[in-house]
Structure 1
Amino acid sequence: MAQQPVSLPAKLINGGVAGMVGVTCVFPIDLAKTRLQNQRSSQQVYKNMMDCLIKTVRSEGYFGMYRGAAVNLTLVTPEKAIKLAANDFFRHQLSKGDSRLSVFKEMLAGCGAGVCQVIITTPMEMLKIQLQDAGRLVAQRNVAVIPALKFGAGSTVINCAYSLGPTTHIRRTSALQITQELLRTHGVQGLYKGLGATLMRDIPFSVIYFPLFAHLNQLGKPSEAENAPFYWNFASGCGAGCVAAIAVSPCDVVKTRLQSLSTGAHEETYSGVMDCVSKIVRKEGPAALLKGAGCRALVIAPLFGIAQVVYFIGVGEFVLGRFPNFRF
């Protein structure tokens, strides 16, 4: 099957569909990643990803694993649209006079896409993190010593919220309420807290992912005139996404900490990227910068694998073929 050029409208539809399907599938793991990254070594509520998901379901119900998903589902389409359109634009500009892009130019195109996407990514992540982390803060307060309950001389009972039921109600705050409060108190820049850290994460990610996927996918092509098979597209997307996700995981930890507006008792606050890195390394050790790396790989790998499946199937082309007069 010959390689057919994909129109920009079809790319945008494919990116939006892939984003929504992917977010729905892996969002609970993303929630676990955020909570693991935000908890400090001295106040650990969750031991690992599975422990976090089990405790979340017990204390917040099944839908507690999807806190903040609405924000992602709403903004993932414009985020993917900007990322894909920007990558295509920069690739086109850099390919003038060249029959094939060099790896360096592919990395430059990915860098440009990463810079552009933070317009949507930063506020989307900012709102999502507040909603995802609310349950961790309540759980941290619930795991406390209750001196009033005594059995014998001087003994105390540890109150574990997950064995006795939650003792503190999780205040339900919507993304709209958080947005309104941020705009009222800090203006538009309030939604872009952690912009520097987001750039530090998204630029290297795109620089690594786009060229790596292109070259992995190229290896699976029977010939230059044919597409790689379905399974190779999926595996290339998963592989490139996994490598890129792990590579930028320390930046994601810093971004998550900086964008958390609420902190638990005795938890550090940070004034900027360097202050955050310095305090994490000094107080929690260098390994803390890799918190949630496994969860992040489990989130990103299938997300980009699903994206390649959607492109392979041609959802956007099918929609445009059924509605030829549809324009946007």
Structure 2
Amino acid sequence: MLGSSAAAQAGGCAGMCVDLTLFPLDTIKTRLQSQQGFYKAGGFRGIYAGVPSAAVGSFPNAAAFFVTYECTKSLLGAGGALAAPHVAPVTNMLAASLGEIVACLIRVPTEVVKQRTQACPSSATYNILLTTLREEGVGGLYRGYFSTVLREIPFSLVQFPLWEYLKMLWSQRQGHTLHSWQSAVCGAFAGAVAAFATTPLDVAKTRIMLAKAGSATASGNIPLVLLDVWRSRGLPGLFAGSMPRMAFISMGGFIFLGAYEKIRRTLL
């Protein structure tokens, strides 16, 4: 129980640190990916639009992910074929994927409200929430759930095994457990690689969440959304917002995974 509690507190605190510190980069990324274009979506104005939604969802979302991640790793590594060291990447992939599926139940409603506020900075977070509920019901808050999961799972399949592998490699080289800052460096590199690789899926997720209710895009057909982006904007469109996304996730990975390791070790 102590391990789960430590994972929840460490993950939640680390998540809040990242989301609130780097929020402007996330706003820029969302506006670059929006169908209306960067400047029509607000440009550099109201860069903190949607921050209340991020603040509310940040702690429980990150806590849910890490509790699931650590518990799954412990269960899978407790015995059987998945306990062998050479299959550790598979264990990490499965644990991270399950963690994302659970965390997205909390993340998606806050993400929908946050992104709609970011793309329409003249509206307050509370008004966007009420409008979504009035026009689309609770289901509207979960629009883009599957596209978010389909973005997060490939992201985690790249980030977490790479993070664990880099930590193991560095630890073996220096002959002792890594310091928190070293773990953070590994997290930053792993996050940047995973962020770039999954940017097209992030573009699709953003388009689906921001689309007008009842439109073809709002239906959540990811291949069709990506095809539409490809036809209208080509390859640059599919990787729109990749630089701020990589910067956000790289710096976020440094703060998030470094803070997570530090807080967790302190609590344990």
TM-score (norm 2): 0.87
Cα separation, 2, equivalents of 1:116 and 1:45: 34
Contact 1:114 1:205 (8 Å CA) reproduced: no
The amino acid that maps onto 2:56 is T
Q: What is the aligned partner in structure 1 of residue 124 from structure 2? A: 173
* Structure 1: gaps (5+ residues): 47-51, 136-169, 322-328
Give the one of 209, 226, 238 matched to 2:159: 209
Q: What is the aligned partner in structure 2 of residue 134 from structure 1? A: 120
Contact 1:217 1:233 (8 Å CA) reproduced: yes
Instruction: Confirm or deny that 1:243 pairs with 2:193.
Output: yes
Q: How does 1:1-328 map to 2 (within 5 A)?
A: 7-39=3-35, 45=39, 56=44, 60=45, 64-97=46-79, 98-100=83-85, 101-135=87-121, 170=122, 172-174=123-125, 176-221=126-171, 226-261=176-211, 269-271=217-219, 272-314=221-263
RMSD: 2.8
- The Cα of 1:90 is off from its aligned counterpart by 1.8
Change (3 A) 1:103 1:45: same
Q: Say which SS state the counterpart of residue 274 (structure 1) adopts.
A: helix
Change (3 A) 1:38 1:105: same
Q: What does the per-residue CA deviation read over 1:116-148, in whole Å, with 9 as the maximum and x for residues that have no partner?
A: 21101211210110111114xxxxxxxxxxxxx
Cα separation, 2, equivalents of 1:30 and 1:236: 22
Cα separation, 2, equivalents of 1:253 and 1:24: 22
Q: Which has the larger radius of gyration?
A: 1
Higher helix proportion: 2
Q: What does the per-residue CA deviation read over 1:147-194, in whole Å, with 9 as the maximum and x for residues that have no partner?
A: xxxxxxxxxxxxxxxxxxxxxxx3x322x3322332233222111111
Contact 1:35 1:133 (8 Å CA) reproduced: yes
TM-score (norm 1): 0.72
Cα separation, 2, equivalents of 1:305 and 1:6: 25
Q: What is the aligned partner in structure 2 of residue 141 from structure 1? A: none
The amino acid that maps onto 1:124 is T
- The Cα of 1:16 is off from its aligned counterpart by 1.6
Contact 2:50 2:124 (8 Å CA) reproduced: no
Q: Say which SS state the counterpart of residue 7 (structure 1) adopts.
A: helix
Q: Say which SS state the counterpart of residue 120 (structure 2) adopts.
A: helix
Contact 2:209 2:218 (8 Å CA) reproduced: no
The amino acid that maps onto 1:30 is D
Runs of 4 or more off by more than 6 Å in structure 1?
none
Cα separation, 2, equivalents of 1:185 and 1:90: 38
Cα separation, 2, equivalents of 1:295 and 1:249: 11
The amino acid that maps onto 2:166 is L
Cα separation, 1, equivalents of 2:189 and 2:173: 21
- The Cα of 1:106 is off from its aligned counterpart by 2.0
Cα separation, 2, equivalents of 1:44 and 1:28: 14
Cα separation, 2, equivalents of 1:33 and 1:197: 17
